[in-house]
């Protein structure tokens, strides 16, 4: 059987689902291909510990797509961000950074939202959309012709469209299949992700503690809960990930501290090896890479998912403008506009987070003093402090319309 659409998206993850809605809202006919059972993803799940930090710009995007009303009641505003250096033996550093949302206006710097709530809202919206077709298939071959891209599936089905958008995640199979090289770096670190319940109110404050073994991020969730991302050297991280609940808690407590009172582990624990990946090209003939398929960065900046949404907003704007001008939305010169808009910024962020991780994940006393002085300088320089707050909120640079909360 042959299916036809304007755009085919491979991958029904968060970026793929959001992209399909952004395109469908402006009149594109979209097909999503995913190897999993899409309907099972709709099943209501209990809290499993996974959550995302949404920059203010990302919240603007969901607002512009008409999704925020379904998300706001389950989101936690981030009003302040506090960053400090620390060591279990030496204690907390006297140097720190404090970002207060009031310096930018009334809006929060961002929000946190649990995976189950975000995914449910996206999936329900996709199912209700009239011009989005979801196909559970395994892709076996891709062919880009002069005017169309053809996707051949394991069942024999063929999907043709003007442009293919790969949202199949880190180490993208689609990128490799079409010959796009991926440059990677192994950080030799493991990220442990879980959540805790605590006695005291976090007051919507996010914390980042830079420890010699790696950073600990504490992101506020609703109802006196916080999401934890603890980065450790691979060997230590793997050992910690296998500990029993109480043993893991004993390891976490001295690092977490008691500023929120007693803590209780809730939800599951997840463990991920950390590496950065950047594609040598974000486009190929009638194809673009989106999100982790194009670039995957260290979580130290908390910008991974937000960068994927920036890709979504950018490609949606580029091909919408092209369509309105009467251009071929899959033409090389059209897709080049997306690459020119996104690749430099993505590469720069990848390199800066790489440097940031190297600077902040070590025991060298000289480095510790240097980063402390750097944080103190930024914190006491209003112009710099505002710049970094805007960067954290995703409000710097040349913004696509959706990230400004505007319709395409």
Across the chain, which has 408 residues, the per-10-residue mean pLDDT values are 92 96 97 82 66 95 96 95 69 71 90 93 94 93 92 93 95 92 92 94 92 88 94 95 94 91 92 92 96 89 87 98 97 97 86 73 69 80 86 86 95
What are the structural domain ranges in the chain?
2-404
| Predicted structure pTM score | 0.92
Tell me the backbone φ, ψ of residue 53, rounded to 5 degrees: -100, 120
Per-position b or e across 104-113, b if 16+ CB within 10 A of its CB: beeebbbbbb
C-alpha R_g of the chain: 22
Residue 90: the pLDDT is 45
Please choose, from the candidates 342, 331, 353, 350, the residue with its C-alpha nearest in 3D space to the C-alpha of residue 289.
342
Half-sphere exposure of 182 (CA within 13 A, CB side): 23
C-alpha distances (whole Å) from 191 to each of 39, 227, 295, 355 are: 30, 13, 18, 18
DSSP symbol at 306: H
- In the chain, what are the helix, strand and coil shares in percent, each to the nearest 5? 40, 30, 30
DSSP symbol at 350: H
End-to-end Cα separation, the chain, in angstroms: 33
What CATH code would you report for 2-404?
3.50.50.60
How many of the other CB atoms lie within 10 Å of CB of 367? 16
DSSP symbol at 302: S
- The answer to whether 97 and 377 have CB atoms below 8 angstroms apart is no
C-alpha distances (whole Å) from 233 to each of 71, 148, 237, 240 are: 35, 46, 6, 11
Residue 97: the pLDDT is 84
For the chain, the residue count is 408
Residue 80: the pLDDT is 93
């Amino acid at each position: 059987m042959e299916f036809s659409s304007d755009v085919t998206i491979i991958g029904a993850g968060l970026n793929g689902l959001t992209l399909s809605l952004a395109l469908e809202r402006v009149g594109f006919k979209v097909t999503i291909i995913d190897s999993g059972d899409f309907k099972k993803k709709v099943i209501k799940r209990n809290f499993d510990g996974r959550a995302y930090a949404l920059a203010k710009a990302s919240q603007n995007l969901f607002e512009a797509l008409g999704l925020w009303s379904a998300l706001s009641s389950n989101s936690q505003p981030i009003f302040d961000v506090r960053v400090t250096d620390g060591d279990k033996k030496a204690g907390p550093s006297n140097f720190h950074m404090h970002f207060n949302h009031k310096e930018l206006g009334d809006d929060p710097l961002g929000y946190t939202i649990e995976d189950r709530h975000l995914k449910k809202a996206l999936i329900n919206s996709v199912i209700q959309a009239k011009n989005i077709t979801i196909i559970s298939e395994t892709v076996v071959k891709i062919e880009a012709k002069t005017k169309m891209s053809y996707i051949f599936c394991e069942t024999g089905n063929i999907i043709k469209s003007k442009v293919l958008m790969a949202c199949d995640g880190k180490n993208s199979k689609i990128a490799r299949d079409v010959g796009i090289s991926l440059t990677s770096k192994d950080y030799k670190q493991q990220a442990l992700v879980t959540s805790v319940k605590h006695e005291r109110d976090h007051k919507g404050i996010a914390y980042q503690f830079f420890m010699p073994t790696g950073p600990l991020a504490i992101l506020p969730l609703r109802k006196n809960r916080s999401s934890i991302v603890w980065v450790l050297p691979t060997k230590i991280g793997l050992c910690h990930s296998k500990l029993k609940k109480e043993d893991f808690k004993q390891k976490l407590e001295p690092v977490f501290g008691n500023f929120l009172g007693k803590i209780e582990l809730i939800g599951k624990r997840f463990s991920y090896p950390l590496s950065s990946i950047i594609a040598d090209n974000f486009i190929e003939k009638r194809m673009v890479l989106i999100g982790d398929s194009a670039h995957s960065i260290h979580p130290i900046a908390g910008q991974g998912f937000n960068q994927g949404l920036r890709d979504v907003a950018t490609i949606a704007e580029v091909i919408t403008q092209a369509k309105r001008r009467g251009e071929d939305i899959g033409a090389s010169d059209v897709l080049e506009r997306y690459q020119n808009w996104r690749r430099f910024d993505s590469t720069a962020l990848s390199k800066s987070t790489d440097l940031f991780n190297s600077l902040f994940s070590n025991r060298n006393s000289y480095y510790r003093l240097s980063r402390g002085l750097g944080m103190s300088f930024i914190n006491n320089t209003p112009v710099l402090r505002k710049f970094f707050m805007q960067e954290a909120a995703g409000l710097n640079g040349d913004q696509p319309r959706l990230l400004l909360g505007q319709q395409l």
